[in-house]
Amino acid sequence: EKRVFTFGKGRSEGNKGMKALLGGKGANLAEMSSIGLSVPPGLTISTEACQEYQKLGLKLPEDLWEEVMEALEIVEKDMGASLGDPSKPLLLSVRSGAAISMPGMMDTVLNLGLNDEVVAGLAAKSGDRFAYDSYRRFLDMFGDVVMGIPHTLFEEKLENMKSKKNLKQDTDLTSSDLKELVEEYKSVYLQAKGENFPSGKTKK
């Protein structure tokens, strides 16, 4: 049974009637894609796969990872970009959804796909400030949502840096400040988990 559904480029494998299976967000994205609205390509993992994962004691159901990777290849083709490729980096937003709306209850990880190599490629395309700010935000969200590292540990590093440089706003940080902050965020992983930030494509 199908557990991963793709959408984008004027086609989709779902529709708005599939809220129970794709969640509200997934069903609406599928519908918007199929009626030709400009929706960035993506994939939705079904609610059934999530239930299966929970039944298996938080273990991935058999072959689910392969299905995700196959769907990801379709997204990469649609985008003309590749996860982990510094020359044409693909960055993903990972958002949770449900059949019913639960504002503020759902976790999100933005900029999945960034690592030390990819951030350099992104910086060459979009500038250092944007690239390293995106990277530090990703490290914070991934650490908090996926690795269970308290957000406050990252926030502390940010506040320390701002007070050390006598800055009021996050936006006052320079690109070299942000590069330094990325390294400090990585040190949070090491302290909290006893291991380095996992920067490989499939490891994430």
pLDDT in tens, 5-17: 999 999 999 999 9
Residue 202 confidence (pLDDT): 54
Higher pLDDT, 203 or 88: 88
- Taking residues 115-131, what's their average pLDDT? 97
CA–CA dist 98, 133 (Å, integer) = 30
Residue 92 CB coordination number (10 Å): 19
Contact 61, 137 (CB under 8 A): no
CA–CA dist 93, 138 (Å, integer) = 10
Residue 187 CB coordination number (10 Å): 14
Taking only the tens place, the pLDDT of each residue in 51-82 is: 999 999 999 999 999 999 999 999 999 999 99
Tokens of 102: 């639960």
pTM for the complete prediction?
Answer: 0.91
Helix, strand, coil: what percent of the chain each, to 5? 55, 10, 35
Dihedral (Cα; 11, 14, 19, 20), 10-degree rounding:
-160
Contact 44, 5 (CB under 8 A): yes
| Domains recognised in the chain with CATH numbers | 1-80 (3.30.1490.20), 96-204 (1.20.80.30)
